[in-house]
Amino acid sequence: MSDDRRARVDWLVAELNRHNRLYHEQNAPEIPDWEYDRLFRELEAIEAAHPGLARPDSPTRRVGSSPVAELRPFAHEVPMLSLQNGYRREEGDHTWGGPYEDLLEWERGKPERLGGLRRQLGEDAPATIHYVVEPKLDGLAMELVYDNGKLVAGGTRGDGETGEDVTHNLLTIASVPRSLRGAPEGRLAVRGEVLFDLGGFERMNNEREARGEKRFENPRNAAAGTMRQLDPELARGRPLMFFAHSAGEKLPGAATHGEVLDRFAAMGFAVNPLNRRCAGIEQVIAAVAELEARRADLPYEIDGAVVKVDDLALQGALGFVTRSPRWALAFKYPPAKVHTRLNSVLFSVGRTGAVTPVAQLEPVRVGGVTVRNASLHNEHQMVRVLGLRLGDTVEIQRAGDVIPEVVRVVPSVGRDGLSPAAYPEACPDCGHALVRELSDPKKPEMVLIRCPNTLGCPAQRLAALRHFAARGTMDIEGLGEKLLELLIARGFVSRPSDIYRLHERREELVALDRMGALSVQNLLDAIEASKQRPLERGLMALGVPSVGESTAKDLARAFRGIEAVMDASVEALDAVPGIAEPTAVGIREFFADARNREEVERLCTLGVAFVPPAAPASASLGGKTFVLTGTLPTLSRDQAKAMIEGAGGKVSGSVSKKTDFLVAGTEAGSKLDRAQELGVPVIDEQGLRALLGEST
Ligand code: IVH
């Protein structure tokens, strides 16, 4: 019996994996979804009853990876570069030289400018250059690393050198193969794009809305947000897919990029079916145009075509300009535009009380995504530039992950009878009279319309708390807009310091809708962890006027403590390099307000540390240049960078003779070789800590 069962498991695993490939790679399913689900459930049931029979390559394992405590750095052995851009021009564009001028110029060069593949190759240029044209997939760049054909890790692009390890989430994506057929021995790095299936994206958004959650703005950000989650349960069930598009390192035996793609497909990767080999730039132009014509019907988003020289030897001869290869061009399509009706204008009140107009549109599909609202920027744009009337037909455009915007009104008969869009007199949230301020004396048309009820206006309160808890500031995981709204409505939170008292109300929190003991514990842990955020993050979180990331860093370096910043005079603030007088005045006014001082004192009493930078600016690292490479045992790249900068050192991206130290972790790549070549001292994390004067 047990042998029969084992044979059944073997058959189910092989069959399910085969159907997975048919579905995800070849787009040619042989069985309906319900049949697949039935086989899947049968396998799950046997594995649950007889864990000993569960095979490592079982498709059920995809859903079994466990949450991680934090996203670890993911070092790229070979940096992930970017692509040079070209654009399909539209008539009326002042740079017009035909729609495909940038492609022609890329191949042939322009007499008055250098560049051009032919010019670069000179005598070596073949009569016909062969290319591969691929869709430029508008998703999230990813590198997957295999060892002897087994998936070992995967990470995001990050700054090109180091991204984030998101293996746990990649394992939930059916088109990410866990083991490869016929892979080369040893290491293989495959790069590609993680994307949302648009139909699935729309369904997921509708379900979110039905549950009272916020819709995702666009598939690209939703994919990025999903992949950064610590708990893979969230990624599971989201309709994500992965297309392989390039080799992270040379693939042995391949002479052309097309062969690389064919090999990927044979190994079990999904390779985009619209990739085309082309002989000469005229064929490229035809393929690029055909791709654009099909764009609106594709089940995922693309924002252009990537054109690559096919011959790998030619690629080698062409090489790189700064951060991009000469042998590839990202040819971008103009943003998708459509017409729809303006139903109304919503006035949204931000953290600082600024009131901005948002167009409420008759929902319309643009490039596969349904758009319901669009930015109108400000009063000047809405009234003077667009001259908007309620009920107008408007043209909207959407490009990648930027917020859609209204670009013009489409002339129509009878629009004279419509009423012009205008700002209200009173704050739409608290009813306080709005005030008009000049934001820039040189631009009198740029009036800033604000609700001055800073502390009493609920919209400002919510926005200020969201900003406080957000990723770039105190980074309190799990404390998003919906939960804050609920906590405000229940009277649990009205100012930031209340967040640090939430642990006193654990029982009440557990009793809230959609909360459970575990999620409350996670939230309280995240709140506790946020007490250790650096001073500069705290300064940004407080919402001090004009204090963004770089000013906050300047302040933290100069004053080294929250009290010192609070007590600094305008002169002392103005003396800080990088801080201009109006900013200094704004900071002083903010901390002169007793309500703000008291709030900071409450935060400190409740344990928020506003951690100052590591060592005085005059410490041993003054003027020294560091380069980081590989994965350090306990520090993330950002942490190491912050420690070096805090001690007056600099961090650079590449090793040169001017580098003072290379800090190397595990899996250090070419930078280590280069440092050794140049005789640059190489230290590890412990060495870095020692330089910083920490006892180790
Ligand atoms: S090849 C040396 N092919 O575009 C560059 N990239 O600006 C190798 N992208 O983040 C990249 N579709 O992830 C390549 N078919 C495609 C692509 C593609 C989208 C992304 C890529 C990168 C960005 C480059």
Domains (range + CATH), the chain: 3-60 (1.10.287.610), 131-332 (3.30.470.30), 337-450 (2.40.50.140), 458-530 (1.10.150.20), 535-605 (1.10.150.20), 625-691 (3.40.50.10190)
User: Identity (one letter) of the amino acid at 392?
Assistant: D
What is the best residue among 87, 227, 243, 245 to mutate for testing ligand 1's pocket, by most ligand atoms within 8 Å of CB?
245
Tell whether ligand 1 has an atom less than 6 A from the beta carbon of residue 141: yes
**CB-based contact 42:12 (threshold 8 Å):** yes
Residue 310's φ and ψ, nearest 5 degrees, are -75, -40
Residue owning the nearest CA to atom 2 of ligand 1: 81
**CB-based contact 473:539 (threshold 8 Å):** no
**CB-based contact 683:640 (threshold 8 Å):** no
Structure tokens at 422: 């205008």
Structure tokens at 206: 């509708």
Tell whether ligand 1 has an atom less than 6 A from the beta carbon of residue 523: no
Cα separation, 197 vs 142, in Å, equals 17
Tell whether ligand 1 has an atom less than 6 A from the beta carbon of residue 83: yes
Which atom of ligand 1 is the closest one to the Cα of 139?
19
Residues in contact with 24: Cβ distance below 8 Å, sequence separation at least 6, in sequence order:
174, 175, 241, 270
Query: Rounded to the nearest whole angstrom, what is the distance from the C-alpha of residue 695 to the centroid of ligand 1?
Result: 44
CA 416 to chain centre: 43
- Taking residue 114's Cβ as centre, other Cβ atoms within 10 Å add up to 9
Tell whether ligand 1 has an atom less than 6 A from the beta carbon of residue 156: no
Query: Among candidates 487, 117, 176, which has minimal Cα distance to 325?
Result: 117
Q: pLDDT for 461-519, tens place per residue? A: 999 999 999 988 999 988 998 899 999 999 999 999 999 999 999 999 999 877 888 88
Structure tokens at 592: 């002169």
Query: Rounded to the nearest whole angstrom, what is the distance from the C-alpha of residue 8 to the centroid of ligand 1?
Result: 42
Q: Which of 21-25, 86-90, 436-440 has the lowest mean pLDDT?
A: 21-25
pLDDT at res. 650: 86
Tell whether ligand 1 has an atom less than 6 A from the beta carbon of residue 157: yes
Tell whether ligand 1 has an atom less than 6 A from the beta carbon of residue 195: no
Structure tokens at 649: 């050192």
Query: Rounded to the nearest whole angstrom, what is the distance from the C-alpha of residue 82 to the centroid of ligand 1?
Result: 7
Query: Rounded to the nearest whole angstrom, what is the distance from the C-alpha of residue 365 to the centroid of ligand 1?
Result: 26
Residues in contact with 226: Cβ distance below 8 Å, sequence separation at least 6, in sequence order:
169, 234, 235, 238, 240
Structure tokens at 179: 């083991």
Which atom of ligand 1 is the closest one to the Cα of 135?
15
Please indicate whether residue 136 is annotated as part of the active site: yes
Cα separation, 275 vs 273, in Å, equals 6
Rg (CA), the chain: 28
Q: pLDDT for 624-665, tens place per residue? A: 889 999 888 888 888 788 888 877 788 888 898 889 899 998
**CB-based contact 580:548 (threshold 8 Å):** no
What is the best residue among 291, 306, 309, 312 to mutate for testing ligand 1's pocket, by most ligand atoms within 8 Å of CB?
306
Which atom of ligand 1 is the closest one to the Cα of 272?
15
Residue 617 has pLDDT above 70, yes or no: no
- Residue with token string 């600094």: 568
How sure is the predictor about 545, in pLDDT bands with cuts at 50, 70 and 90?
confident
- Alpha-carbon distances, residue 427 vs 254, 382, 457 (angstroms): 65, 18, 9
Q: pLDDT for 439-455, tens place per residue? A: 777 888 888 999 999 88
Q: What is the DSSP string of 217-251?
A: S-HHHHHHHHHT-S-HHHHTTS-EEEEEEEESSPP
Query: Among candidates 684, 690, 652, which has minimal Cα distance to 668?
Result: 684
Q: Which of 283-292, 306-315, 578-587 has the lowest mean pLDDT?
A: 578-587
Q: Which of 136, 308, 332, 553 is catalytic?
A: 136
Query: Rounded to the nearest whole angstrom, what is the distance from the C-alpha of residue 465 to the centroid of ligand 1?
Result: 37
Tell whether ligand 1 has an atom less than 6 A from the beta carbon of residue 121: no
Query: Rounded to the nearest whole angstrom, what is the distance from the C-alpha of residue 136 to the centroid of ligand 1?
Result: 7
- The vertex-486 CA angle with 485 and 490, nearest 5°, equals 120
Tell whether ligand 1 has an atom less than 6 A from the beta carbon of residue 276: no
Question: What phi-psi label fits residue 78: left (phi over 0), alpha (psi between -120 and 50 degrees) or beta?
Answer: beta
Question: What phi-psi label fits residue 414: left (phi over 0), alpha (psi between -120 and 50 degrees) or beta?
Answer: left
Grouping H, G, I as helix, E, B as strand and the rest as coil, residue 399 is: coil
How sure is the predictor about 695, in pLDDT bands with cuts at 50, 70 and 90?
very low
Structure tokens at 157: 């692009």
Query: Rounded to the nearest whole angstrom, what is the distance from the C-alpha of residue 305 to the centroid of ligand 1?
Result: 10
Mean pLDDT of the chain: 89
pLDDT at res. 483: 92
Tell whether ligand 1 has an atom less than 6 A from the beta carbon of residue 136: yes
Residue owning the nearest CA to atom 13 of ligand 1: 141
Tell whether ligand 1 has an atom less than 6 A from the beta carbon of residue 220: no
Cα separation, 167 vs 151, in Å, equals 9
Residue owning the nearest CA to atom 18 of ligand 1: 136
**For range 15-43, the mean pLDDT:** 79
Cα separation, 494 vs 616, in Å, equals 36
Structure tokens at 279: 């002989």
Which atom of ligand 1 is the closest one to the Cα of 136?
12
**For range 302-316, the mean pLDDT:** 96
**For 3, how many CA atoms within 13 A lie in the half-sphere containing its CB?**
0
**For range 516-545, the mean pLDDT:** 93
**For 667, how many CA atoms within 13 A lie in the half-sphere containing its CB?**
16
pLDDT at res. 26: 63
Which atom of ligand 1 is the closest one to the Cα of 324?
2
Which atom of ligand 1 is the closest one to the Cα of 275?
15
Residue 49 has pLDDT above 90, yes or no: no
Query: Rounded to the nearest whole angstrom, what is the distance from the C-alpha of residue 135 to the centroid of ligand 1?
Result: 9
End-to-end CA gap in the chain? 59
Structure tokens at 384: 């003077």
Q: What is the DSSP string of 143-167?
A: EEEEETTEEEEEEE-TTSSEEEB-H
